[in-house]
A and B are shown apart, each in its own frame.
Chain A
Amino acid sequence: MTVSRRAAKDRDRLLVAVLRSLFDGASTSRAAAQLARLPSADQIALLDRARRLEVGPLIARRLLEMDGLAPEAIAAARRIYGDNLARNLYLRAETKDWVGRLAVAGIPCRPLKGVGASLLLFDDLGARQSADIDLLVRPQDVQAAHALAVSRGFAPACLEYHVTDPDSKAIHLEPREVVASYSIDLHWSIEMPRLVPIDHADFWTEPPSAASGMASGSADAAPPLDLVGALFAIHLWRHGATLKTLVDFAAFVHRFDDRIPAIRCRLKPAGAAAGLDLALALAERVLGVRSRFARRRPVRSLALPWLERCLGRPFAERGPYFGWLVLPLELDGALRPLRRLLGRVSRPVVRDDHLHLGLRLRRVGQVVKRVASRGEAHAASSERPPVAD
Protein backbone atom coordinates (compact mmCIF):
# COMPACT_ATOMS: atom_id res chain seq x y z
CA MET A 1 0.00 0.00 0.00
CA THR A 2 1.41 3.42 -0.95
CA VAL A 3 1.90 6.13 1.66
CA SER A 4 -0.87 8.29 0.18
CA ARG A 5 -3.34 5.38 0.14
CA ARG A 6 -2.50 4.54 3.73
CA ALA A 7 -2.94 8.20 4.71
CA ALA A 8 -6.33 8.28 2.93
CA LYS A 9 -7.39 5.13 4.75
CA ASP A 10 -6.31 6.56 8.11
CA ARG A 11 -8.19 9.77 7.34
CA ASP A 12 -11.36 7.82 6.52
CA ARG A 13 -11.00 5.84 9.76
CA LEU A 14 -10.74 9.08 11.71
CA LEU A 15 -13.75 10.46 9.87
CA VAL A 16 -15.81 7.46 10.95
CA ALA A 17 -14.42 7.73 14.50
CA VAL A 18 -15.59 11.35 14.66
CA LEU A 19 -19.03 10.29 13.43
CA ARG A 20 -19.15 7.47 15.98
CA SER A 21 -18.43 9.99 18.71
CA LEU A 22 -21.76 11.68 17.85
CA PHE A 23 -23.55 8.63 19.16
CA ASP A 24 -21.09 7.39 21.76
CA GLY A 25 -19.63 10.06 24.02
CA ALA A 26 -17.03 7.62 25.39
CA SER A 27 -15.23 7.50 22.04
CA THR A 28 -14.90 11.29 21.82
CA SER A 29 -11.60 11.59 23.66
CA ARG A 30 -9.97 8.92 21.47
CA ALA A 31 -11.11 10.68 18.28
CA ALA A 32 -10.01 14.06 19.70
CA ALA A 33 -6.55 12.67 20.53
CA GLN A 34 -6.17 11.33 16.98
CA LEU A 35 -7.32 14.64 15.60
CA ALA A 36 -4.85 16.61 17.70
CA ARG A 37 -1.96 14.55 16.28
CA LEU A 38 -2.80 15.58 12.71
CA PRO A 39 -1.03 18.53 11.09
CA SER A 40 -3.39 21.37 10.13
CA ALA A 41 -3.20 20.52 6.41
CA ASP A 42 -4.44 17.00 7.18
CA GLN A 43 -7.20 18.36 9.38
CA ILE A 44 -8.34 20.52 6.47
CA ALA A 45 -8.08 17.49 4.15
CA LEU A 46 -10.32 15.62 6.59
CA LEU A 47 -12.92 18.39 6.34
CA ASP A 48 -12.67 18.32 2.56
CA ARG A 49 -13.14 14.56 2.49
CA ALA A 50 -16.19 14.92 4.77
CA ARG A 51 -17.61 17.54 2.40
CA ARG A 52 -17.22 15.18 -0.57
CA LEU A 53 -19.01 12.48 1.38
CA GLU A 54 -21.85 14.95 2.11
CA VAL A 55 -21.24 15.01 5.87
CA GLY A 56 -19.08 18.15 5.85
CA PRO A 57 -21.19 20.39 8.12
CA LEU A 58 -21.80 17.61 10.64
CA ILE A 59 -18.09 16.79 10.86
CA ALA A 60 -17.21 20.50 10.98
CA ARG A 61 -19.56 21.04 13.91
CA ARG A 62 -18.23 18.00 15.73
CA LEU A 63 -14.59 18.98 15.20
CA LEU A 64 -15.32 22.47 16.51
CA GLU A 65 -16.56 20.88 19.72
CA MET A 66 -13.33 18.92 20.12
CA ASP A 67 -9.96 20.17 21.29
CA GLY A 68 -6.92 19.98 19.09
CA LEU A 69 -8.09 21.70 15.93
CA ALA A 70 -5.50 24.03 14.37
CA PRO A 71 -6.54 27.69 13.80
CA GLU A 72 -6.67 27.22 9.98
CA ALA A 73 -8.84 24.14 10.43
CA ILE A 74 -11.08 26.00 12.89
CA ALA A 75 -11.59 28.73 10.29
CA ALA A 76 -12.35 26.14 7.59
CA ALA A 77 -14.76 24.23 9.84
CA ARG A 78 -16.58 27.41 10.82
CA ARG A 79 -16.90 28.36 7.17
CA ILE A 80 -18.28 24.94 6.15
CA TYR A 81 -20.77 24.89 9.00
CA GLY A 82 -21.79 28.56 8.63
CA ASP A 83 -22.29 28.27 4.86
CA ASN A 84 -24.48 25.22 5.35
CA LEU A 85 -26.51 26.84 8.10
CA ALA A 86 -27.11 29.87 5.90
CA ARG A 87 -28.11 27.63 2.99
CA ASN A 88 -30.48 25.67 5.21
CA LEU A 89 -32.04 28.91 6.47
CA TYR A 90 -32.67 29.76 2.82
CA LEU A 91 -34.02 26.30 1.98
CA ARG A 92 -36.25 26.36 5.05
CA ALA A 93 -37.75 29.69 3.99
CA GLU A 94 -38.20 28.41 0.42
CA THR A 95 -39.78 25.15 1.62
CA LYS A 96 -42.20 27.09 3.76
CA ASP A 97 -42.98 29.29 0.79
CA TRP A 98 -43.69 26.27 -1.45
CA VAL A 99 -45.90 24.62 1.15
CA GLY A 100 -47.80 27.90 1.54
CA ARG A 101 -48.25 28.45 -2.21
CA LEU A 102 -49.39 24.88 -2.75
CA ALA A 103 -51.84 25.22 0.14
CA VAL A 104 -53.28 28.39 -1.41
CA ALA A 105 -53.77 26.38 -4.61
CA GLY A 106 -55.62 23.75 -2.58
CA ILE A 107 -52.79 21.20 -2.78
CA PRO A 108 -51.80 19.56 0.51
CA CYS A 109 -48.06 19.00 0.61
CA ARG A 110 -45.52 17.36 2.96
CA PRO A 111 -41.83 18.20 2.81
CA LEU A 112 -39.70 15.04 2.86
CA LYS A 113 -36.30 14.91 4.58
CA GLY A 114 -34.68 18.24 3.74
CA VAL A 115 -33.84 20.87 6.31
CA GLY A 116 -36.46 19.59 8.73
CA ALA A 117 -34.48 16.36 8.98
CA SER A 118 -31.48 18.31 10.28
CA LEU A 119 -33.50 19.47 13.28
CA LEU A 120 -35.19 16.13 13.75
CA LEU A 121 -31.98 14.09 13.72
CA PHE A 122 -29.36 16.49 15.09
CA ASP A 123 -31.30 19.30 16.82
CA ASP A 124 -29.30 21.64 14.64
CA LEU A 125 -30.45 23.32 11.45
CA GLY A 126 -26.90 23.60 10.14
CA ALA A 127 -25.70 20.04 10.72
CA ARG A 128 -27.18 18.23 7.74
CA GLN A 129 -26.44 19.03 4.14
CA SER A 130 -29.45 19.34 1.84
CA ALA A 131 -29.15 19.55 -1.91
CA ASP A 132 -32.72 20.23 -2.90
CA ILE A 133 -36.29 20.45 -1.71
CA ASP A 134 -38.38 17.28 -1.69
CA LEU A 135 -42.11 17.79 -1.65
CA LEU A 136 -44.71 15.04 -1.44
CA VAL A 137 -48.17 15.65 -2.90
CA ARG A 138 -51.08 13.29 -3.39
CA PRO A 139 -51.06 11.50 -6.79
CA GLN A 140 -54.23 13.31 -7.86
CA ASP A 141 -52.53 16.67 -7.21
CA VAL A 142 -49.33 16.03 -9.15
CA GLN A 143 -50.45 17.71 -12.38
CA ALA A 144 -51.58 20.84 -10.56
CA ALA A 145 -48.44 20.99 -8.40
CA HIS A 146 -46.29 20.48 -11.49
CA ALA A 147 -48.14 23.29 -13.30
CA LEU A 148 -47.60 25.59 -10.31
CA ALA A 149 -43.86 24.81 -10.27
CA VAL A 150 -43.64 25.48 -14.02
CA SER A 151 -45.50 28.78 -13.59
CA ARG A 152 -42.85 29.76 -11.03
CA GLY A 153 -39.97 29.17 -13.43
CA PHE A 154 -39.11 25.52 -12.78
CA ALA A 155 -39.02 22.88 -15.51
CA PRO A 156 -38.53 19.11 -15.59
CA ALA A 157 -34.88 18.18 -15.87
CA CYS A 158 -35.74 15.31 -18.21
CA LEU A 159 -38.22 15.96 -20.99
CA GLU A 160 -39.07 12.27 -21.35
CA TYR A 161 -40.35 12.13 -17.80
CA HIS A 162 -44.08 11.57 -17.58
CA VAL A 163 -45.75 13.27 -14.66
CA THR A 164 -48.42 10.60 -14.58
CA ASP A 165 -46.12 7.56 -14.80
CA PRO A 166 -47.52 5.31 -12.04
CA ASP A 167 -44.24 3.37 -11.87
CA SER A 168 -42.23 6.43 -10.94
CA LYS A 169 -42.14 8.25 -7.66
CA ALA A 170 -41.14 11.81 -8.43
CA ILE A 171 -40.29 14.37 -11.04
CA HIS A 172 -37.09 16.36 -10.81
CA LEU A 173 -37.57 20.07 -11.48
CA GLU A 174 -34.73 22.50 -12.17
CA PRO A 175 -34.92 26.29 -11.97
CA ARG A 176 -35.04 27.66 -15.53
CA GLU A 177 -36.61 31.09 -15.62
CA VAL A 178 -36.08 31.96 -12.00
CA VAL A 179 -33.11 32.62 -9.75
CA ALA A 180 -33.04 29.76 -7.30
CA SER A 181 -30.08 27.74 -6.12
CA TYR A 182 -32.00 24.53 -5.58
CA SER A 183 -33.97 21.98 -7.50
CA ILE A 184 -37.25 20.41 -6.47
CA ASP A 185 -38.17 16.75 -6.36
CA LEU A 186 -41.93 16.63 -6.61
CA HIS A 187 -42.94 13.24 -5.19
CA TRP A 188 -46.23 11.44 -5.41
CA SER A 189 -44.79 8.32 -3.82
CA ILE A 190 -41.93 7.85 -1.36
CA GLU A 191 -40.45 4.99 -3.39
CA MET A 192 -40.98 3.51 -6.84
CA PRO A 193 -44.27 1.65 -6.39
CA ARG A 194 -43.18 -1.42 -8.36
CA LEU A 195 -39.94 -1.81 -6.40
CA VAL A 196 -41.01 -1.04 -2.85
CA PRO A 197 -44.78 -0.63 -2.75
CA ILE A 198 -44.87 0.99 0.67
CA ASP A 199 -48.13 2.41 1.91
CA HIS A 200 -47.53 6.04 2.80
CA ALA A 201 -51.17 7.07 3.13
CA ASP A 202 -50.52 8.01 6.78
CA PHE A 203 -48.65 11.04 5.56
CA TRP A 204 -52.12 12.40 4.86
CA THR A 205 -54.21 10.81 7.58
CA GLU A 206 -52.12 10.67 10.77
CA PRO A 207 -52.58 13.51 13.23
CA PRO A 208 -49.58 15.86 13.31
CA SER A 209 -46.82 14.99 15.76
CA ALA A 210 -44.60 17.77 17.01
CA ALA A 211 -41.65 15.40 17.48
CA SER A 212 -41.42 14.62 13.79
CA GLY A 213 -41.58 18.21 12.54
CA MET A 214 -39.75 17.71 9.26
CA ALA A 215 -41.51 20.64 7.67
CA SER A 216 -39.65 23.79 8.47
CA GLY A 217 -40.06 23.21 12.16
CA SER A 218 -43.80 23.32 11.81
CA ALA A 219 -45.87 20.63 13.45
CA ASP A 220 -48.71 21.22 10.97
CA ALA A 221 -47.08 19.17 8.27
CA ALA A 222 -45.37 16.59 10.46
CA PRO A 223 -45.69 12.98 9.35
CA PRO A 224 -45.73 10.02 11.78
CA LEU A 225 -42.26 9.15 13.02
CA ASP A 226 -42.24 5.52 11.97
CA LEU A 227 -43.05 6.53 8.41
CA VAL A 228 -40.19 9.02 8.57
CA GLY A 229 -37.90 6.26 9.85
CA ALA A 230 -39.03 3.97 7.03
CA LEU A 231 -38.16 6.77 4.64
CA PHE A 232 -34.60 7.01 6.03
CA ALA A 233 -34.21 3.22 5.74
CA ILE A 234 -35.43 3.24 2.13
CA HIS A 235 -33.28 6.25 1.34
CA LEU A 236 -30.17 4.39 2.48
CA TRP A 237 -30.70 1.75 -0.21
CA ARG A 238 -31.99 4.14 -2.84
CA HIS A 239 -28.71 6.09 -2.57
CA GLY A 240 -26.61 2.94 -2.65
CA ALA A 241 -25.61 3.15 1.05
CA THR A 242 -23.73 6.44 1.22
CA LEU A 243 -22.11 7.66 4.42
CA LYS A 244 -24.64 10.50 4.64
CA THR A 245 -27.68 8.24 4.35
CA LEU A 246 -26.20 5.81 6.89
CA VAL A 247 -25.55 8.64 9.37
CA ASP A 248 -29.14 9.83 8.88
CA PHE A 249 -30.48 6.37 9.54
CA ALA A 250 -28.17 5.81 12.53
CA ALA A 251 -29.18 9.19 14.01
CA PHE A 252 -32.82 8.19 13.68
CA VAL A 253 -32.19 4.85 15.41
CA HIS A 254 -30.18 6.58 18.13
CA ARG A 255 -33.07 8.95 18.87
CA PHE A 256 -36.15 6.94 18.11
CA ASP A 257 -35.16 3.30 18.57
CA ASP A 258 -38.58 2.47 20.01
CA ARG A 259 -40.06 3.10 16.55
CA ILE A 260 -38.10 0.29 14.89
CA PRO A 261 -40.81 -2.39 15.35
CA ALA A 262 -43.37 -0.05 13.78
CA ILE A 263 -40.99 0.64 10.88
CA ARG A 264 -40.57 -3.11 10.39
CA CYS A 265 -44.37 -3.44 10.27
CA ARG A 266 -44.52 -0.80 7.57
CA LEU A 267 -41.75 -2.32 5.46
CA LYS A 268 -42.83 -5.97 5.74
CA PRO A 269 -45.94 -5.77 3.52
CA ALA A 270 -43.77 -4.01 0.92
CA GLY A 271 -41.32 -6.94 1.04
CA ALA A 272 -38.50 -4.71 2.28
CA ALA A 273 -38.03 -5.67 5.94
CA ALA A 274 -34.68 -7.32 5.13
CA GLY A 275 -33.39 -3.87 4.24
CA LEU A 276 -34.21 -2.61 7.73
CA ASP A 277 -32.34 -5.47 9.40
CA LEU A 278 -29.33 -5.01 7.16
CA ALA A 279 -29.39 -1.23 7.72
CA LEU A 280 -29.46 -1.79 11.49
CA ALA A 281 -26.53 -4.19 11.22
CA LEU A 282 -24.59 -1.67 9.12
CA ALA A 283 -25.33 1.21 11.52
CA GLU A 284 -24.06 -0.90 14.41
CA ARG A 285 -20.97 -2.16 12.60
CA VAL A 286 -19.84 1.22 11.24
CA LEU A 287 -21.18 3.81 13.68
CA GLY A 288 -21.71 1.75 16.82
CA VAL A 289 -25.42 2.57 16.99
CA ARG A 290 -27.14 -0.51 18.33
CA SER A 291 -30.87 -0.97 18.20
CA ARG A 292 -32.63 -3.02 20.86
CA PHE A 293 -34.75 -4.42 18.06
CA ALA A 294 -31.97 -5.49 15.70
CA ARG A 295 -32.17 -9.10 14.60
CA ARG A 296 -29.02 -11.05 15.18
CA ARG A 297 -27.09 -12.02 12.06
CA PRO A 298 -29.45 -11.10 9.22
CA VAL A 299 -28.93 -13.47 6.30
CA ARG A 300 -27.40 -10.78 4.15
CA SER A 301 -24.81 -9.74 6.71
CA LEU A 302 -22.24 -11.28 4.37
CA ALA A 303 -22.62 -8.11 2.33
CA LEU A 304 -21.64 -5.87 5.25
CA PRO A 305 -17.86 -5.63 4.55
CA TRP A 306 -18.58 -4.70 0.95
CA LEU A 307 -21.20 -2.13 1.98
CA GLU A 308 -18.75 -0.67 4.50
CA ARG A 309 -16.23 -0.17 1.72
CA CYS A 310 -18.91 1.45 -0.45
CA LEU A 311 -19.45 4.12 2.21
CA GLY A 312 -16.10 5.65 1.39
CA ARG A 313 -17.13 6.32 -2.18
CA PRO A 314 -18.94 9.64 -2.75
CA PHE A 315 -22.37 9.34 -4.35
CA ALA A 316 -21.35 11.52 -7.30
CA GLU A 317 -18.46 9.17 -8.14
CA ARG A 318 -20.38 5.91 -8.10
CA GLY A 319 -21.40 5.53 -11.70
CA PRO A 320 -24.93 5.54 -13.09
CA TYR A 321 -26.05 2.03 -12.12
CA PHE A 322 -24.31 1.54 -8.80
CA GLY A 323 -27.56 2.01 -6.89
CA TRP A 324 -29.13 -0.94 -8.71
CA LEU A 325 -26.43 -3.22 -7.28
CA VAL A 326 -27.21 -2.17 -3.71
CA LEU A 327 -30.95 -1.63 -3.83
CA PRO A 328 -31.98 -5.33 -4.15
CA LEU A 329 -30.40 -5.97 -0.73
CA GLU A 330 -33.37 -4.28 0.91
CA LEU A 331 -35.90 -6.67 -0.63
CA ASP A 332 -36.98 -9.83 1.19
CA GLY A 333 -36.29 -13.33 -0.06
CA ALA A 334 -34.09 -14.60 -2.84
CA LEU A 335 -36.32 -14.24 -5.88
CA ARG A 336 -38.23 -11.10 -5.00
CA PRO A 337 -35.33 -8.71 -5.77
CA LEU A 338 -34.88 -10.26 -9.22
CA ARG A 339 -38.62 -10.31 -9.91
CA ARG A 340 -39.08 -6.68 -8.86
CA LEU A 341 -36.10 -5.45 -10.82
CA LEU A 342 -37.25 -7.32 -13.92
CA GLY A 343 -40.77 -6.01 -13.40
CA ARG A 344 -39.40 -2.49 -13.16
CA VAL A 345 -37.18 -2.81 -16.22
CA SER A 346 -39.79 -4.49 -18.41
CA ARG A 347 -42.87 -2.59 -17.31
CA PRO A 348 -45.40 -2.27 -20.15
CA VAL A 349 -46.38 1.09 -21.52
CA VAL A 350 -49.98 -0.04 -22.03
CA ARG A 351 -51.93 -1.14 -18.94
CA ASP A 352 -54.75 -3.41 -19.96
CA ASP A 353 -53.88 -6.68 -18.17
CA HIS A 354 -52.38 -8.17 -21.35
CA LEU A 355 -48.87 -9.57 -21.36
CA HIS A 356 -47.44 -7.35 -24.14
CA LEU A 357 -44.43 -9.62 -24.48
CA GLY A 358 -43.07 -7.81 -27.54
CA LEU A 359 -43.27 -4.42 -25.85
CA ARG A 360 -41.61 -5.75 -22.70
CA LEU A 361 -38.75 -7.36 -24.63
CA ARG A 362 -38.26 -4.18 -26.61
CA ARG A 363 -38.07 -2.20 -23.34
CA VAL A 364 -35.50 -4.59 -21.89
CA GLY A 365 -33.48 -4.20 -25.10
CA GLN A 366 -33.64 -0.40 -24.78
CA VAL A 367 -32.51 -0.50 -21.16
CA VAL A 368 -29.60 -2.85 -21.97
CA LYS A 369 -28.58 -0.56 -24.82
CA ARG A 370 -28.76 2.48 -22.55
CA VAL A 371 -26.69 0.75 -19.85
CA ALA A 372 -24.06 -0.18 -22.43
CA SER A 373 -23.85 3.32 -23.90
CA ARG A 374 -23.74 4.96 -20.46
CA GLY A 375 -21.07 2.48 -19.40
CA GLU A 376 -18.96 3.49 -22.41
CA ALA A 377 -19.55 7.19 -21.72
CA HIS A 378 -18.61 6.66 -18.08
CA ALA A 379 -15.42 4.83 -19.05
CA ALA A 380 -14.54 7.59 -21.53
CA SER A 381 -15.09 10.32 -18.95
CA SER A 382 -12.91 8.44 -16.43
CA GLU A 383 -10.08 8.29 -18.97
CA ARG A 384 -10.36 11.98 -19.85
CA PRO A 385 -7.62 14.04 -18.19
CA PRO A 386 -8.79 16.57 -15.63
CA VAL A 387 -9.33 20.10 -16.94
CA ALA A 388 -7.50 21.63 -14.03
CA ASP A 389 -5.82 20.48 -10.85
Chain B
Amino acid sequence: METSRWRISRKTAYELIQDEAVALNLQTGLYYRLNAVAASAFDRLAEGADVEALVDRLVRDYDIDSVVLRRDLEDLLSDLEKYGLIEPVP
Protein backbone atom coordinates (compact mmCIF):
# COMPACT_ATOMS: atom_id res chain seq x y z
CA MET B 1 0.00 0.00 0.00
CA GLU B 2 1.56 3.29 -1.13
CA THR B 3 -0.42 5.65 1.02
CA SER B 4 0.03 5.29 4.75
CA ARG B 5 -2.34 7.93 6.01
CA TRP B 6 -5.95 8.57 5.03
CA ARG B 7 -8.66 10.91 6.10
CA ILE B 8 -12.43 10.88 5.88
CA SER B 9 -13.53 12.89 2.87
CA ARG B 10 -15.38 16.15 3.54
CA LYS B 11 -18.31 14.92 1.47
CA THR B 12 -18.72 11.90 3.77
CA ALA B 13 -21.21 11.62 6.60
CA TYR B 14 -20.98 8.59 8.85
CA GLU B 15 -22.48 7.18 11.98
CA LEU B 16 -21.30 4.41 14.26
CA ILE B 17 -24.10 2.26 15.60
CA GLN B 18 -23.40 -0.41 18.17
CA ASP B 19 -20.80 -2.56 16.44
CA GLU B 20 -21.10 -1.32 12.90
CA ALA B 21 -21.20 1.89 10.86
CA VAL B 22 -22.78 3.43 7.80
CA ALA B 23 -20.74 5.88 5.72
CA LEU B 24 -22.55 7.96 3.13
CA ASN B 25 -21.11 9.90 0.23
CA LEU B 26 -23.25 13.03 0.33
CA GLN B 27 -22.53 13.86 -3.30
CA THR B 28 -23.37 10.53 -4.88
CA GLY B 29 -25.88 9.29 -2.33
CA LEU B 30 -24.12 5.92 -2.17
CA TYR B 31 -23.56 4.43 1.23
CA TYR B 32 -21.29 1.75 2.54
CA ARG B 33 -22.05 -0.54 5.47
CA LEU B 34 -19.09 -1.38 7.64
CA ASN B 35 -18.91 -4.37 9.95
CA ALA B 36 -17.43 -4.14 13.43
CA VAL B 37 -13.75 -4.35 12.40
CA ALA B 38 -14.20 -2.05 9.40
CA ALA B 39 -16.19 0.42 11.51
CA SER B 40 -13.42 0.48 14.08
CA ALA B 41 -10.84 1.05 11.32
CA PHE B 42 -12.96 3.85 9.84
CA ASP B 43 -13.37 5.53 13.20
CA ARG B 44 -9.62 5.43 13.79
CA LEU B 45 -8.96 6.85 10.35
CA ALA B 46 -11.18 9.76 11.34
CA GLU B 47 -8.90 10.25 14.33
CA GLY B 48 -5.90 10.42 12.01
CA ALA B 49 -4.36 7.00 12.58
CA ASP B 50 -1.95 5.73 9.91
CA VAL B 51 -2.23 2.27 8.40
CA GLU B 52 0.51 0.70 10.53
CA ALA B 53 -1.00 1.98 13.77
CA LEU B 54 -4.37 0.80 12.53
CA VAL B 55 -3.13 -2.74 11.89
CA ASP B 56 -1.46 -2.91 15.29
CA ARG B 57 -4.58 -1.73 17.05
CA LEU B 58 -7.01 -3.97 15.19
CA VAL B 59 -4.83 -7.06 15.69
CA ARG B 60 -4.84 -6.33 19.41
CA ASP B 61 -8.56 -5.59 19.61
CA TYR B 62 -9.93 -8.37 17.45
CA ASP B 63 -7.35 -11.13 17.67
CA ILE B 64 -7.04 -11.45 13.88
CA ASP B 65 -4.06 -12.71 11.92
CA SER B 66 -2.07 -9.64 10.90
CA VAL B 67 -1.47 -10.85 7.32
CA VAL B 68 -5.16 -11.47 6.74
CA LEU B 69 -6.04 -8.19 8.40
CA ARG B 70 -3.55 -6.19 6.31
CA ARG B 71 -4.93 -7.71 3.10
CA ASP B 72 -8.56 -7.04 4.10
CA LEU B 73 -7.69 -3.54 5.19
CA GLU B 74 -6.08 -2.78 1.83
CA ASP B 75 -9.23 -3.97 0.08
CA LEU B 76 -11.40 -1.90 2.39
CA LEU B 77 -9.35 1.28 1.96
CA SER B 78 -9.31 0.80 -1.78
CA ASP B 79 -13.13 0.42 -1.81
CA LEU B 80 -13.66 3.41 0.45
CA GLU B 81 -11.43 5.54 -1.76
CA LYS B 82 -13.23 4.33 -4.88
CA TYR B 83 -16.56 5.42 -3.37
CA GLY B 84 -15.11 8.79 -2.41
CA LEU B 85 -15.50 8.17 1.30
CA ILE B 86 -11.84 8.60 2.21
CA GLU B 87 -8.92 10.33 0.57
CA PRO B 88 -5.16 9.96 0.95
CA VAL B 89 -3.37 12.54 3.05
CA PRO B 90 -0.57 13.99 0.88
Binding site for B on A (CB under 8 A): 78, 82, 85-86, 89-90, 92-93, 124-126, 181
Contact = CB atoms under 8 A, between A and B. Distances in A.
A92 B22 CA distance: 14
Contacts of A124: 17
Contacts of A93: 13, 26
Given A86-B22, A90-B29, A93-B26, 19 more contacts: A78-B33, A82-B22, A82-B31, A85-B15, A85-B17, A85-B22, A86-B24, A89-B14, A89-B22, A89-B24, A89-B31, A90-B13, A90-B24, A93-B13, A124-B17, A125-B15, A126-B15, A126-B17, A181-B29
A71 to B, nearest CB: 16
Complex A-B, nearest 7 residue pairs according to Cβ-Cβ distance, in ascending order: A86-B31, A89-B13, A89-B24, A85-B22, A86-B24, A125-B15, A93-B13
Nearest to A92: B13
Contacts, number: 31
Contact of B33 (A82, A90, A92): A82
Contacts of A126: 15, 17, 22
Contacts of A78: 33
B interface: dominant SS: strand
Contacts of A86: 22, 24, 31
B21 to A, nearest CB: 9
A355 B31 CA distance: 58
Interface string B1-41: 00000000000011101000010101001010100000000
Interface of B: 13-15, 17, 22, 24, 26, 29, 31, 33
A337 to B, nearest CB: 42
A124 B31 CA distance: 17
7 contacts: A82-B22, A82-B33, A89-B13, A93-B26, A124-B17, A126-B15, A126-B17
A175 to B, nearest CB: 14
Nearest to B11: A93
Nearest to A88: B15
Contacts of B31: 82, 86, 89
Q: Which of B14, B22, B26 has the most CB of A within 10 A?
A: B22
A5 to B, nearest CB: 37
Contacts of A85: 15, 17, 22
A111 to B, nearest CB: 16
B28 to A, nearest CB: 11
A386 B28 CA distance: 34
Contacts of A90: 13, 24, 26, 29
Contacts of A181: 29
A292 B13 CA distance: 39
Contacts of A82: 22, 31, 33
